[in-house]
């Protein structure tokens, strides 16, 4: 088995996802599309990092399935140390790309499905765990990118899946055929979907009796007939289509979000990992959510490192790096970012083995981590905007900079600290703009709020995991209080 390089990954994507719709146009040649190419480069980085002497120890792990070295983005955690290395890997990738690198959801889905299928088989006598072991061993050997697909459209939030006017608003088993099932529905907010090889489909919530058709977990190749992909818009995204990418802010890497439609898609039996077992849908969702909430203590911290570095650099370029209130703001940014990292490390270090053998993060601390992520990156962005100044929203374009008539005026009047070139100052401002209000803000701010569930979801889990009755009992014992 060979760990793929970034170039090998990019070649493997040529011709996939033939039903992609981007800005109103159908295309099957995505590899050089201006909106898609930066996000594919971000995924390719995760492959190359596994070969880089600086990072390969963090990006590699020995699999207990295929008994060989694999990319950690396909690894099933075998210890608390594995969980910690996952966070370190995610921080590194975020810091090096300055964007979402799109492989975390599949990794988190795999670990959740692995332990859940084990528990389901033990109770119901099903064969899902062996199926998934075989499937994931193949994923590791082929070194593939897997998209985890959980979020359904949900329709009327006041109605259960079976009560929706359109049953496809939650992805479901529509029909049963010899050797498999036919599924119908959609998944929204699919990060990196068009850059994947495989799709792992999961239920979006805990299902109840009578909702068995919606209790489906399965896998399909990305180019399966009947799957349609509709590219999502991002702020200032068409800047990526301009000849000069100067105004993009992040000239190399980017993220990707896709609406994915499943129109009567056949799934063979060997790729089905839950099918109607409603009592394990909540378990799967909860475990996946905790892994993914842990992830944000790594990836968002890495992107935060980029934002902090850019903010410090623009302060120097503006000549205000020694001003006391500027120093306080940058120190506060560091404090908030490292607090998120502490949360990610904490829930990882307290991980524990599941009956299936892989390791689960501490659920309470993972939810504390993600709840902080719904706040702190927004404060980092506010402080960065404060330090950078109003040019974030008013700076002329690179086309004007190159214009022989007005270009000299821009170079003259946007000059600041003479130790830095005007063009370089504009580059840094564009990067901060990208991360705070541009296309990069989708992978940083919007994902921080809604990825792995919005704040209310974390608050619910924190309330469940806080062991309030035990805390009350301790106080009553301490004070010799008995219940009347």
Q: What is the pLDDT of residues 74-107, one digit of tens each?
A: 999 999 999 999 999 999 999 999 999 999 999 9
Query: Is residue 435 very low, low, confident or very high in pLDDT (cuts 50, 70, 90)?
Result: very high
pLDDT of 142 higher than 70 = yes
Q: What is the pLDDT of residues 442-483, one digit of tens each?
A: 999 999 999 999 999 999 999 999 999 999 999 999 999 998
Query: Looking at the structure, do residues 270 and 311 belong to the same domain, yes or no?
Result: no
Query: Looking at the structure, do residues 362 and 259 belong to the same domain, yes or no?
Result: no
Would you list the DSSP string of 102-128?
A: S-HHHHHHHHHHHHHHHHHHHHH---H
Phi, psi of 200 (to 5 degrees): -100, 115
Catalytic site includes residue 342? no
Q: What is the mean pLDDT of the chain?
A: 96
Residue 226 covered by a domain: yes
Query: Looking at the structure, do residues 136 and 150 belong to the same domain, yes or no?
Result: yes
How far from the centroid of its chain's Cα atoms is residue 46's Cα?
13
pLDDT of 157 higher than 90 = yes
What is the 3-class SS of 338-391, one letter each residue? HHHHHHHHHHHHCCEECCCCCEECCHHHHHHHHHHHCCHHHHHHHHHHHHHCCH
Query: Looking at the structure, do residues 265 and 301 belong to the same domain, yes or no?
Result: no
Query: Looking at the structure, do residues 142 and 270 belong to the same domain, yes or no?
Result: yes
The predicted structure's pLDDT at residue 17? 63
Query: Looking at the structure, do residues 275 and 402 belong to the same domain, yes or no?
Result: no
Domain count along the chain: 2
User: CA geometry: angle at 329 spanning 323 and 331, to 5°?
Assistant: 100
Catalytic site includes residue 217? no
Catalytic site includes residue 299? yes
Query: Looking at the structure, do residues 297 and 254 belong to the same domain, yes or no?
Result: no
pLDDT of 343 higher than 70 = yes
pLDDT of 1 higher than 70 = no
Residue 473 covered by a domain: no
Catalytic site residue from 217, 218, 299, 343: 299
Query: Looking at the structure, do residues 326 and 270 belong to the same domain, yes or no?
Result: no
Q: CATH number of the domain at 10, please.
A: 2.40.110.10
The predicted structure's pLDDT at residue 18? 63
Query: Looking at the structure, do residues 175 and 312 belong to the same domain, yes or no?
Result: no
| Final residue in a domain of this structure, among 223, 257, 279 | 279
The predicted structure's pLDDT at residue 329? 98
The answer to whether residues 367 and 461 touch, using CB atoms and an 8 Å cutoff, is yes
User: CA geometry: angle at 442 spanning 397 and 340, to 5°?
Assistant: 120
Q: Is the dihedral of CA 203, 457, 189, 119 positive or negative?
A: negative
Residue 1 covered by a domain: no
Q: Which of 269, 116, 83 is nearest to 203 (CA)?
A: 116
Catalytic site includes residue 447? yes
Q: What is the pLDDT of residues 402-419, one digit of tens each?
A: 999 999 999 999 999 999
Q: What is the pLDDT of residues 8-27, one digit of tens each?
A: 999 999 877 667 999 999 98
Catalytic site includes residue 74? no
Residue 207 covered by a domain: yes
- Can you give the pTM of this predicted structure? 0.97
Q: CATH number of the domain at 405, please.
A: 1.20.140.10
Query: Looking at the structure, do residues 238 and 380 belong to the same domain, yes or no?
Result: no
Range of the domain at 358: 283-467
Catalytic site residue from 296, 341, 359, 444: 296
End-to-end CA, the chain: 67
Query: Looking at the structure, do residues 305 and 427 belong to the same domain, yes or no?
Result: yes
Residue 372 covered by a domain: yes
The answer to whether residues 349 and 80 touch, using CB atoms and an 8 Å cutoff, is yes
Catalytic site includes residue 436? no
pLDDT of 2 higher than 80 = no
User: How far apart, in whole angstroms, are the C-alpha atoms of residue 39 and residue 41?
Assistant: 5
- Burial per residue of 320-330, b for 16 or more beta-carbon CB atoms within 10 angstroms, e otherwise: bbeeeebeebb
């Amino acid at each position: 088995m060979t760990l793929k390089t970034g170039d090998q990954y990019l070649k493997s994507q040529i011709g996939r996802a033939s039903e992609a719709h981007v800005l109103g146009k159908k295309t099957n040649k995505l590899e050089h599309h201006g909106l898609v190419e930066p996000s594919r480069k971000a995924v390719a980085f995760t492959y190359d990092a596994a070969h880089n002497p600086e990072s390969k120890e963090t990006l590699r792990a020995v699999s207990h399935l295929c008994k060989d070295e694999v990319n950690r983005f396909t690894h099933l955690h075998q210890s608390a140390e594995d969980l910690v290395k996952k966070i370190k890997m995610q921080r590194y990738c975020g810091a090096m790309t300055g964007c979402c690198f799109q492989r975390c959801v599949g990794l988190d889905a795999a670990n959740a499905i692995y332990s859940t299928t084990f528990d389901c088989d033990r109770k119901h006598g099903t064969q899902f765990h062996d199926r998934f072991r075989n499937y994931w061993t193949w994923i590791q050997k082929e070194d593939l990118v897997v998209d985890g697909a959980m979020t359904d459209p949900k329709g009327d939030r006041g109605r259960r899946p079976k009560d929706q006017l359109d049953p496809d608003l939650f992805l479901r088993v529509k029909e049963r055929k010899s050797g498999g099932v036919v599924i119908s529905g959609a998944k929204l907010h699919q990060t990196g979907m068009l850059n994947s090889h495989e799709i792992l489909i999961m239920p979006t919530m805990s299902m109840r009796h009578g909702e068995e058709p919606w209790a489906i977990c399965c896998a399909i190749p990305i180019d399966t007939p009947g799957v349609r992909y509709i590219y999502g818009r991002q702020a200032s995204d068409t800047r990526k289509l301009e000849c000069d990418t100067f105004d993009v802010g992040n000239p190399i890497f980017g993220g990707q979000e896709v609406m994915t439609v499943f129109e009567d898609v056949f799934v063979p039996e060997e790729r089905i990992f839950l099918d109607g077992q409603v009592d394990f849908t909540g378990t799967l969702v909860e475990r996946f959510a905790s892994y993914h909430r842990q992830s944000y203590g790594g990836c968002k911290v890495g992107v935060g490192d980029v934002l902090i570095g850019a903010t410090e650099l623009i302060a120097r370029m503006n000549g205000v790096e020694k001003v006391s209130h500027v120093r306080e703001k940058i120190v506060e940014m560091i404090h908030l970012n490292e607090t998120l990292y502490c949360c990610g490390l904490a829930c990882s270090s307290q991980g524990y083995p599941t009956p299936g053998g892989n390791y689960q993060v501490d659920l309470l601390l993972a939810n504390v981590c993600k709840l902080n992520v719904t706040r702190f990156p927004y404060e980092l962005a506010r402080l960065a905007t404060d330090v950078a100044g109003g040019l974030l929203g008013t700076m002329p374009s690179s086309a004007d900079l190159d214009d022989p008539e007005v270009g000299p005026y821009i170079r003259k009047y946007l000059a600041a600290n003479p130790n830095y070139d005007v063009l370089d100052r504009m580059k840094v401002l564009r990067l901060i703009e990208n991360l705070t209000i541009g296309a990069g803000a989708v992978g940083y701010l919007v994902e921080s709020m809604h990825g792995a569930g919005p704040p209310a979801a974390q608050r619910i889990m924190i309330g469940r995991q806080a062991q309030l009755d035990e805390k009350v009992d301790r106080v009553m014992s301490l004070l010799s209080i008995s219940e009347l």
